[in-house]
């Protein structure tokens, strides 16, 4: 893209990114630090300059820091929030060039090749960067060089700019740590008397490569431009949202559904291009009186078929009060999942799709969590042999494996009269007098001793399938250790 043009790279380093971000929201005077829980102790995570002047440093225990500096003010750190903030800065940095990537968790790297002239010169571009970042309250250090390694070294150890084609002149006096080496490697080089990049460049390469491996020489060559190093810019996450501004307000149900249909076609085209499917859709209808109504649709599975989604909006749209008219519509997929392309057959087979549509349609009325299915569980205990899960967020289980037939209806054990290990000939259950016609069993089930369960404190159970003269088909069990008979289920 830039044939014949010298590559130029900028490294932005924010040494106090976390604390600067925290102080932007709630400024304080005096020593300040963010703390993070590490190894069962609160430790300093990021400090402001006042705290560093008191002799505090990162990794120091918070208790020791308070002993050294009683005036220290602190707040809990938020690494995830810092990561999101750094991505916001990355997006801001694209005003200088399109190739912007992350450099660790506190820096950015920019390939400004061919872009500096848009700001007058490289010096004017760097001045603009510093001015804007300082105005935003962010401590920053910026380096510029022909390579990513040179820019990083200058930002961290000698803020400045290396002239075109002269990285060695700018880096020679910097410490070897400027080559992005591991701490143990830096210490070993210092013990050998190799403290600067000039010392390392003048030393024999072969002995160093044998002792420290190829990474040491690779980092040196990358910084000096002998070996290329790519900059991988982060791509913007796809935004699954479309909007429509209407020249005249609308209020009829059919008109709103027609507008929703047009938005769905556009949104589904975006989803298809990214091989994604929507799980949650939000339709926002803005009225001319500045009021807005939202219709949220939750789907049983990822979907990008506009014809199948549109009817599911009918109920929600029908409940919207259009007032004096709707003049803006916005449709957004707030939750998406991967939905790769797959081979389709010429034979129609929509049973799974029809089930998902049915679950979605019922879920819009009673909630997707309330549409449930039974799934098999790995347990020989009858009441633990299944789990109940939301149908929209689970897949049908495999075949139900059972050594003996199980009743369709299970309920807590209900005592019945009877003595002895065999089913009673006559017994009463739920105010009914029943007589045994046929009994099959027993099936002995032992409790799972590794799981506490008060319902099984009576020990093992001997289960019987009892058919009564009155037509009832019951599941009875006998407890030998604590003699007694109970009914726990009924066959269909």
**DSSP string of 214-237?**
HHHHHHHHHHHTSS-----PPPPP
Geometric angle at alpha carbon 446, from 442 and 450, rounded to 5°: 170
Do strands 160-161 and 141-145 pair parallel, antiparallel, or not at all (unpaired)? parallel
Cα-flanking dihedrals φ and ψ of residue 121, to 5°? -165, 170
What sign has the CA pseudo-torsion 314, 316, 322, 328?
Answer: negative
Three-state secondary structure call for residue 6: coil
The mean of the pLDDT values for the chain is: 89
Three-state secondary structure call for residue 469: coil
pLDDT tens, 334-386? 999 988 876 655 555 555 567 887 888 888 778 778 888 888 888 888 888 88
Q: What is the pLDDT of residue 191?
A: 94
Q: What is the pLDDT of residue 173?
A: 93
Q: Please name which of 233, 205, 230 lies closest in space to residue 147, comparing C-alpha atoms.
A: 230
Q: For the stretch 459-480, what's the b/e string if a residue is b when 16 or more beta carbons lie within 10 angstroms of its beta carbon?
A: eebbbbbbebeeebebbbbbbe
Taking 70 as the pLDDT cut, the residues of the chain under it are 1-4, 234-236, 342-353, 398
Q: What is the pLDDT of residue 2?
A: 46
Three-state secondary structure call for residue 170: helix
Ranges of H-type helices in 69-182: 79-93, 122-135, 148-157, 167-171
pTM, rounded to two decimals: 0.58
Q: What is the pLDDT of residue 433?
A: 93
Q: What is the pLDDT of residue 185?
A: 94
């Amino acid at each position: 893209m830039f044939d014949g043009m010298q590559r130029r790279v900028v490294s932005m380093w924010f040494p106090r990114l976390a604390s600067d971000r925290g102080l932007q929201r709630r400024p304080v005077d005096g020593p300040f630090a963010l703390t993070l829980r590490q190894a069962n102790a609160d430790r300093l995570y990021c400090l402001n300059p006042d705290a560093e002047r008191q002799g505090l440093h990162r990794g120091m225990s918070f208790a020791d820091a308070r002993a050294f500096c009683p005036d220290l003010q602190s707040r809990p750190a938020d690494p995830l929030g810092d990561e999101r903030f750094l991505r916001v800065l990355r997006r801001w940095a694209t005003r200088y060039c399109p190739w912007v990537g992350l450099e660790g968790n506190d820096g950015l790297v920019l390939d400004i090749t061919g872009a500096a002239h848009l700001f007058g010169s490289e010096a004017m571009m760097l001045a603009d960067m510093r001015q804007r970042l300082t105005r935003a309250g962010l401590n920053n250090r910026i380096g510029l060089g022909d390579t990513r390694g040179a820019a990083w070294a200058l930002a961290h150890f000698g803020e400045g700019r290396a002239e075109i084609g002269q990285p060695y002149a700018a880096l020679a006096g910097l410490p070897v740590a400027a080559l992005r080496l591991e701490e143990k490697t830096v210490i070993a080089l210092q013990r050998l008397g190799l403290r600067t990049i000039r010392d390392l460049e003048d030393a024999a390469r072969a002995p160093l490569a044998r002792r420290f491996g190829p990474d040491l020489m690779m980092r040196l060559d990358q910084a000096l431009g002998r070996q290329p190093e790519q900059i991988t810019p982060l791509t913007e996450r796809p935004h699954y949202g479309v909007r429509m501004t209407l020249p005249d307000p609308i209020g009829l149900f059919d008109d709103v559904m027609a507008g929703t249909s047009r938005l769905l076609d556009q949104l589904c085209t975006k989803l298809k291009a990214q091989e994604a499917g929507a799980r949650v859709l939000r339709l926002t209808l803005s009225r001319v009186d500045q009021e807005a109504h939202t219709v949220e649709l939750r789907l049983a599975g990822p979907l990008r078929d506009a014809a199948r989604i549109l009817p599911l909006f009918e109920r929600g749209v029908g409940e919207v009060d259009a007032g004096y008219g709707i003049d803006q519509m916005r449709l957004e997929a707030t939750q998406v999942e991967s939905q790769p392309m797959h081979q389709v057959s010429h034979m129609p087979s929509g049973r799974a799709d029809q089930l998902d549509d049915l679950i979605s349609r019922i879920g819009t009325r009673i909630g997707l969590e309330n549409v449930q299915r039974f799934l098999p569980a790995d347990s020989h205990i009858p009441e633990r042999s299944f789990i109940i899960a939301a149908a929209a967020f689970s897949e049908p289980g495999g075949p139900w494996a059972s050594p003996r037939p199980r009743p369709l209806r299970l309920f807590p054990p209900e005592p019945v009269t009877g003595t002895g290990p065999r089913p009673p000939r006559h017994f009463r259950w739920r105010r009914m007098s029943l007589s045994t016609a046929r009994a099959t069993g027993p099936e002995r089930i032992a409790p799972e001793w590794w799981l506490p369960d008060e319902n099984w404190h009576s020990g093992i159970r001997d289960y019987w399938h009892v058919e009564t003269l009155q037509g009832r088909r019951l599941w009875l069990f006998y407890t030998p250790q604590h003699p007694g008979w109970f009914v726990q289920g009924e066959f269909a």
